[in-house]
Structure 1
C-alpha cells in the first residue's frame, strides 16, 4: 500500500493505493473522524484528483474505532445567532460534495465499521456500494438540533417510513445487519473481515473495463434520477437551515451552555427503536457474535 505523494499535504485524510483500490481514509481518529471543514475540503480535493488518477475503484473508510461520528459540532453548531444564509450555503456545499461521489466516473465503496453517525451517513448513503461491519452503529445525533438534512438522504434507500423512524427518535440507530435488511447497505460482514471483503469486491469490479464501469454507473444513476433522487436532495439544506433558527434549537443550545454537553445528551438518550420488533432477530445476532 502506498500513499499518493501528490496529496501528502493532507492533514485530515489519507489517500492510499493498493491495486485495484484507491482508499480515501478519514484520518481524525482523535476526534472520532468528525467531519471538519478542513476534512471535507480535502475529501473533495481527493475525489477530484482520483477522477483521472489512482486505481479503478475508490473506497472510503475511517481510521481508528469508527467510520465517522458526523459533523464537527465545534464548527457547524457554534454558539450565538445563526446566519441562515451562511448556514444553508454551508450545508448545500456539503450535499454537493456527496453528489460528486454520485457523479464520479469511478465506482465508490464505503467500508463502515464502528460508528457512522449523522453527516457521515450521508457519505455512506451516496456511495455506489456500502459494506458494513455487522456490529456497526449507524444513526443520527442524540441531541435534536437539526431537521430535514440527514434522514431524508436515507429515504432514498430505505423509504419514508423507516427514514421517519430514524429521524423522529433522538439518537436512533441501527446495526449493520439491520442496515442490510432495510436496504441501506449491501452486505454486513464480521468487523475483522471488512476490509478484505471490500478488497474482494473491488477485485471483481475491476475486471470490467473502466469506461464500461462509468457507462454502467451513469445508466443506473439516470434511472434512479428519473425516480426523483436528485430532486429529493435539492432542498434539504433549506429545511435544516430553517430548523437551526427555531426557538427550540436556541433553547437546547442554551441548555448545553448552562448544563454542559454530557448531561443534555443523557436527557435525550433512549434505546434504538429496533428493540420494538418481537423476537428481534435474536438468533441472527447470537450467530453473528459467535
Structure 2
C-alpha cells in the first residue's frame, strides 16, 4: 500500500475506536435536511509524510490531484477570494452573488506587509526567505486574521504553514520541510485533498528555491468523521490498497508564479472506485 493509505487507515480506525462523539452537544454544522451534523473526533492528530520517498496520494480512492492543486494555486499564486478564478465548484456554497468568499484564504495571502526589506505579501516573503535566509526559524504564513474574521464567509480550516530548512550530511542541496496547521478537518471529504495540495506546494517551492523536498507534518486540532460518513469510512478503509503513484513536476519552471496544473504529471495512479455524492455538512 502507499504510505498515505497506511496513515489514513490508522487515523480513521483510531478516530472511530477511540474518538469522542459530539452527539447531543450544541454544534454548528447541519445537514441539508436541517438536522445537526454530529461527529466522532480526535484532538491533536499529527501525521508525517516524507515527500522524498513517495507522493502521499490515497489509493483507496482517487484524489483529484490537479483539482486540489488548482485550489492551492488559487490561494497561493492567484491570491484570489473569488470562485470565478477557480476551476472547480468546491467553494460555491460559501460564495456570495459576486463569487466572493470574503476576506478569506487568497485575499489574506495577497495582503502586503511592511518588512525591513520592503513591502511583500506572505507568499513572496516565504520565497524571499527560502532563497536568502533559508535557516531562519521565522518562515511562515498565517491567514487566520482575527480582525477580518467577521468578513470571511468561512473561517480558514488550514490556516498556517511553517517552513523549516535542513541539510543532510554530504548533500549539496538543502531540504525543505513544513508543518501544515489545521484547526478542523472533515476527514472523509478533505484529508487527502489537503495533504496532496500542500505536498505539491512544497515540491513547487523546493524546485524554485533549488532545494529538495523533505517532510510534510500535518497537524489537525479537530480531526472528525461525520455521523453520516461513518459507514462510508468503514467501507473505504477495508478496501484493497496499491503502491503510491509517481509525481513529476515540469523541471523547466523556475518561477513559482509560472506553475500551472499542466506542469504536474501523475503516473501509475491505481485506485479503488470513487465515493460519490458525499453529504457535506454546512
| TM-score for both structures, normalised by structure 1 | 0.23
* Structure ranking higher on relative contact order (CA contacts 8 Å, 6+ apart): 2
Higher strand share: 2
Higher helix share: 1
